[in-house]
Amino acid sequence: MNYQKSQQILDEVKKAKRILLNCHYGADPDGIGSTLALKLVLEKLGKKVDVICPSKKLSQQTNFLTGFNDITLGIDFYSFDFDKYDLCMFLDTSDVDVLTGQDRELIINKFIVVIDHHQTFHLKNDLKILDTNSSSVGEILYKVFKDWNIELDQQIAECLLTSIIGDTGTFSYTGATSETLRIGSDLMSLGADKSMISDRIYRGEDFRILKFWAEVLSRIQIDKEYGFVWSTVPNNIYKDYEDLPAVKSKTASIFAPIVDGTDFGFIGIEEKPNTFTVSFRGRTDFDTSRIAEELGGGGHPISSAVRMEDINFDDAVEKVLTVCRKYANKKV
């Protein structure tokens, strides 16, 4: 048994007839792939499954996955009718703002199961598997499905491998362990196409995102004393690109952790006036989640984020830089 709670979760699944799953706000390949893998498995078990997402758009880079077109988008969790479901299962979701896209309390009077791998975790639940040593929720689900004695097929394997590739940079990030590689190998042996998935995720961009990257790169700076890079984009620029799905996290993953001589980087975006979001990415074994937590956010050591409300652009940038320098490893 990989997880003690696997059987408890399966018991709840068996009792339920209709189950609700989520794709989190701004869903990435891990969020989408893991949710669709679980949907396929639950349907194998004879359950009626719905998937909802607060985002109005999802990246089309994962539209090859079985069930992608069944995700209901633009859901307001605060007016949604949860009563018709027996069980809610939320994946890759560490807090309410990630679940709903809104930073306010949500009460759901249903049994809630959460499966996640974020180091910082605050989401209310009745039963959870939280494995911060796994690269992705896809990796966790692979082990949960083994605990459940589920026979994986090509479609499930494709969803799980998409999840893992998305959160490991095709096995290149520090979170990819020997176990991650072994699981990836098994999924490939089941028919999941690593090359196709990697190409779709990393070489299938909308042309407009390149224009946004040009804006980010034109503003990028380096703090050689404290060993980090950053770029901040005001709302008058970002508003022309805000419809691009997952543009913030994707941009941070590509540019924030790649500069020689640095330990981490961040991309800061003024989503709207007085709302500032920051995506941190680690390059070495530096723990970015400490910075995010002090600012009110959280995440993994190598990937974390924060959303700051009621603060103007310049003050937000200065506050983030101050906290970064507090935790950074001074270089000179």
| Residue 200: Cβ-neighbour burial (10 angstroms; 0-12, 13-18, 19+) | buried
Among 4-13, 82-91, 239-248, the range scoring the smallest mean pLDDT is 239-248
Average pLDDT, the chain: 95
- DSSP letter string, 170-203: TTTSTT--HHHHHHHHHHHHTT--HHHHHHHHHS
What local confidence, expressed as pLDDT, does residue 284 receive? Answer: 84
pTM of the model: 0.89
What local confidence, expressed as pLDDT, does residue 267 receive? Answer: 98
Q: In sequence order, what are the residues at sequence separation of 6 or more whose Cβ sits closer than 8 angstroms to the Cβ of residue 75? A: 52, 53, 54
Q: Dump pLDDT digits (tens) for 191-233.
A: 999 999 999 999 988 999 999 999 999 999 999 999 999 999 9
What local confidence, expressed as pLDDT, does residue 204 receive? Answer: 87
> What gap in Å lies between CA 318 and CA 127, rounded to an integer?
39
What local confidence, expressed as pLDDT, does residue 173 receive? Answer: 86
| Rounded mean pLDDT, 42-64 | 96
Nearest to 146 by CA among 114, 173, 182: 182
Q: Is the pLDDT of residue 178 over 80?
A: yes
Q: What proportion of the chain, given as a percentage, has pLDDT over 90?
A: 88
> What gap in Å lies between CA 188 and CA 205, rounded to an integer?
24
Nearest to 281 by CA among 202, 134, 169, 206: 169
What local confidence, expressed as pLDDT, does residue 246 receive? Answer: 86
Q: Dump pLDDT digits (tens) for 93-136.
A: 989 989 999 988 999 999 999 999 988 888 999 999 999 999 99
Q: In sequence order, what are the residues at sequence separation of 6 or more whose Cβ sits closer than 8 angstroms to the Cβ of residue 260? A: none
What local confidence, expressed as pLDDT, does residue 36 receive? Answer: 99
Q: Dump pLDDT digits (tens) for 247-271.
A: 998 999 999 999 999 999 999 999 9
Model confidence at 332, pLDDT cuts 50, 70, 90, reads low
Let me know the angle formed at the C-alpha of 143 by 155 and 26, rounded to the nearest 5 degrees.
65
H or E element at residue 155: helix 154-168
Nearest to 162 by CA among 153, 152, 171, 173: 171
| Rounded mean pLDDT, 28-37 | 98
Count of CB atoms within 10 A of residue 90's CB?
24
Q: Which residues pair with 280 in a beta bridge?
A: 266, 304
- Domains in the chain, CATH or no CATH each: 6-202 (3.90.1640.10), 207-327 (3.10.310.30)
> What gap in Å lies between CA 124 and CA 163, rounded to an integer?
24
